[in-house]
Structure 1
Amino acid sequence: MKRSILIFGILVINALLVQAQQPAKPEDTEVWAPVPAKVSPAKVYGGAPSDAIFLFNGKDLDQWVNSGDAASAKKWKLADGIMTVDKSAGDLQTKEKFMDFQLHIEYRIPENISGSGQGRGNSGIFLAALPWGAGGYELQVLDNYDNKTYVNGQAGSLYKQSPPMVNACLKPGEWQTYDIAWTAPRFNEDGSVKSPAVATVFHNGILVQNATILKGDTPYIGQPTYRKHDASPIKLQSHGDKSEPISYRNIWLRKL
């Protein structure tokens, strides 16, 4: 019996030695399947690729509802392919709910903007709008071209959590862009966090959030927390300050 085990062991060792002596081939590390789906890129910067979903194409607001009352006819102003915040209508959010996505959105702060600090061109993009607490996970929209405020609340910040890596703001009156890769948080059955939310953000083509891990939602007061949720709508904020209202255009999304 011992002799048989010894012989078997010698054979295994010999086989491993032979295998180790075989020269490596390119094919050893080639992966051929599954083949990635083909997506046609846009021909111009900011254009939607072939698999994008248009949330706002300048023609209507059919993809959006009033955040406070989905049945309400109150929405923002629509003119010349642009939607502009109507403070009397409050926030807008998408009809559809999403998990992980790539989002492109363009906004414009009026050239004649007034105010200072958080009262100057304030809006926000909630990457997942929630019906409680702080209302979700907010990417800040604000005029910080020449306007000082707390850095974790300036444009490009994940509000009250992560300041932008740089200030990439353009002058008021110019169209600006956000390109966002969002990974929604996942939760265990007991409500504990299985994996946190992660956001990568380009502001006007410049990286300002690099795979930033969120600590929870983005409250104005208090610490961030997580509460269990699934797919959520995207919300655009009507902040309610006295400054001139902000406009949005060309909003599209790719589900990931």
Structure 2
Amino acid sequence: MDGVETSLRASALNLPEGGLLPEHDHRWDQLAYAVQGVMAVETEQGRWVVPPHRAVWLPASVPHRIRAGGPLAMRNVYFPPDTVRALPRRCCVVGVPPLLRELILDLIGRPLPLGNTRAHVEALLVELLAELDQEPLILPMPRDPRARRLAEHLAAHPDDRRPLDVLAREVGASPRTLQRAFLSQAGLSFRQWRQQMRLHRALVLLAEGTAVTAVASRVGYESPSAFVAMFRTLLGTTPGRYFNRR
């Protein structure tokens, strides 16, 4: 940490349920941390869901918009260009361990002039970014108009269990065409994309305190056990343990 004087910026922002930050970008890199509530973040690259105690990394000059799923308490840290080399030049969701959380909150409450204590807090915060685990919470969206229409429908109705051959007729495309579009443009098979979409919606519902049984039904699973199996496959743990991590 010797010689590191980054002079970061930090801010707090609270949004009501459904509150929207319209599309914008920043000259500095941004780490947006969800203290409470769920962020839904959208860029050209795709959509992310950011549950409590996670953060989304937003590189400079990336247009994005943020919607609050439930009352949202967001804490932001902004980094001058080239300060953070440990995180990619693309958006991603990361876990926020307790020490990093406390440093973020400390910066927001600390005066801006760069004294020794603040300089050490900033240097340690930047150093900790190299240790963050990325979480697979992106939902890439296909560009093909028919595939996009199908994706938007399912995102709005995650409990729609109809198979692809039935859904394909509604958007005027063959199942094979849609499969190719999802795979080539979203990087996922249709089945994988649908699973990821359901996970997105489930995380919002779980963060709101909805019971696992109800969540499973509302995102299209026939049983809670099938839903928990999907959750464990994608995130490596059960819903209860995931939301109890700090």
Q: TM-score, normalised by structure 1?
A: 0.22
Q: Which has the higher helix share?
A: 2
Q: Looking at CA atoms only, which structure, 1 or 2, has the larger radius of gyration?
A: 1
Which has more strand, going by share of residues? 1
Q: Which has the higher contact order (CA 8 A, sep 6+)?
A: 1
